[in-house]
Structure 1
Amino acid sequence: MDAAALFSTWLGFGLAGVGALAFAEKFVPIVPSYVLLMLLGTTAMDGTALALLVIVTVAGSVGGALAWYGFGRAVGGARVARLVARFGKYVFLRPELYQRLTDAYRNNHFWVTLFGQTVPVARVYLALPAGVLRLDLLAFTVATALGALIWNMPFLSLGYMLRSSGHDVTVVGFWTAIALIAAETLILVVVRVCRSRVMQRRALVADRG
């Protein structure tokens, strides 16, 4: 069964199938989430159906994140680190990435979780170190839901608008991916430059002191 047939099969279950796809995307990130969301958006026939898609996909995303959170909390940091080192490469989660995600929680937990849902790879696995670190569950759930809403709604809406436009969703998905990568790269460069300047200023202050 090819990907298109599998997608159609899940859609045959209605909103339950949509929710299952959003949940599974947190564990099998083979198809980029923004492409999946745009494809789902093309199935909406009106504004009400689009709103339901937003709600269900957010619920599925939160469910997947809570599953990762629960796994990390139950297994513990040492065993999770060993599992990532052994099997992470098969699911695009290398130890270096896992460590960066863990280190990100040295800052504000709520905002890291929220904005992490808008970063393609981080949005899948950020919940794992959150569970290991035993972050507040309510705050984590709320932040994940808001972040998923910010991420899901635009792509579902784009797919809905493309439904009758005649544009190829795959082509639009490709250029969307390019734009996201470019934006992320720019953000990383800006963050590194700002961090470098802060470190230089601190060094100067320390020298003067």
Structure 2
Amino acid sequence: MDQWIKTILEEFGAIGVGALMLLENVFPPIPSELVMPWAGYSVSQGKSSFLAIVSAGSAGSFAGAWAWFWFARRIGKERLANWVDAHGAWLTITRDDIERVDHWFNDWGAAAVLLCRMIPGLRTLISVPAGFANMPPEKFSVYTGIGTVAWTALLAAVGLWLGKNYGDLARPLSWVSTAVIACLFSIWVYRLVQQRRTGSPHKVR
């Protein structure tokens, strides 16, 4: 995947960054932890502007977060939980996962949106309970925007700093990319195996 990301960034620049960050929110197996450091690295090589990649990455990520927020407001919690009961097994998502995130949001409110935009694995999910709770769109936009810009800028800065201080990091970044993907895949397999051992968790309660 790292070569695919690198190719898109080389061919499309900031537009590619925005598109990948949008996909990262819609399709989480494309992690921002790979996209933005690669984008920062491209800045260190004189191929992009730091402001351009952070702006594009933040815009794409923000659009993806808003898509989930709108979707949750439209479909509602119970309809989504019923869909997960029927189709969530291969995604290793259960009704209990939805309930946990929802309760966590109820405890922390708007602060949860801000903080979770900077936490891998929760960045996309937090838009869903915010939508369920009918959080005011303006408030959601402000907190999501702040958290999104902070996260994308941090990851891009890491790639930029590493590139400037250690020269050609294409191979090390490739190793990191492979490790991240392997870790995500291992977690998915583990959850899938656990579900099979304990029986289907998707039975409607």
Give the shorter-chain TM-score range: 0.7 to 0.9
Structure 1 counterpart SS, 2:150: helix
Give the alignment of 1:24-173 within 5 angstroms. 24-45=23-44, 49-91=49-91, 93-164=93-164, 165=166, 166-167=168-169, 168-172=172-176
Q: Between Structure 1 and Structure 2, whose CA radius of gyration is higher? A: 1
2: CA distance between counterparts of 1:38 and 1:68? 24
Structure 1 gaps, min length 5: 179-209
Specify whether residues 149 and 92 from structure 1 end up closer, same or farther in structure 2 by C-alpha distance, changes over 3 A only: farther
Greater mean deviation of Cα atoms: 156-165 or 91-100 = 91-100
Answer whether contact 1:114 1:144 (CA < 8 A) is retained: yes
Structure 1 counterpart SS, 2:58: helix
Greater mean deviation of Cα atoms: 45-54 or 119-128 = 45-54
Identical amino acids, percent of aligned pairs: 24
What is the deviation of 1:157?
A: 0.8
What is the deviation of 1:95?
A: 2.7
Structure 2 gaps, min length 5: 184-205
Match of 2:18 in 1: 19
Q: TM-score if structure 1 supplies the norm length?
A: 0.73
Specify whether residues 6 and 38 from structure 1 end up closer, same or farther in structure 2 by C-alpha distance, changes over 3 A only: closer
Match of 2:202 in 1: none
- Aligned-residue CA RMSD (Å): 2.7
The letter of the residue matching 1:117 is R
What is the deviation of 1:29?
A: 1.5
Match of 1:9 in 2: 8
The letter of the residue matching 2:73 is R
1:33-58, Cα deviation, whole Å (9 max, x unpaired): 21221112111145981121111111
Answer whether contact 1:23 1:60 (CA < 8 A) is retained: yes
Specify whether residues 3 and 42 from structure 1 end up closer, same or farther in structure 2 by C-alpha distance, changes over 3 A only: closer
1:3-62, Cα deviation, whole Å (9 max, x unpaired): 523651365233222111110001211133212211121111459811211111111111
1: CA distance between counterparts of 2:111 and 2:119? 13
Answer whether contact 1:35 1:170 (CA < 8 A) is retained: no
The letter of the residue matching 1:132 is F
1:57-91, Cα deviation, whole Å (9 max, x unpaired): 11111100100011111111211111223333444
The letter of the residue matching 1:169 is L
1: CA distance between counterparts of 2:92 and 2:37? 22
Answer whether contact 1:11 1:18 (CA < 8 A) is retained: no
2: CA distance between counterparts of 1:134 and 1:11? 40
1: CA distance between counterparts of 2:83 and 2:120? 22
What is the deviation of 1:106?
A: 1.5
What is the deviation of 1:92?
A: 5.0
2: CA distance between counterparts of 1:119 and 1:85? 26
The letter of the residue matching 1:14 is G
Q: TM-score if structure 2 supplies the norm length?
A: 0.75
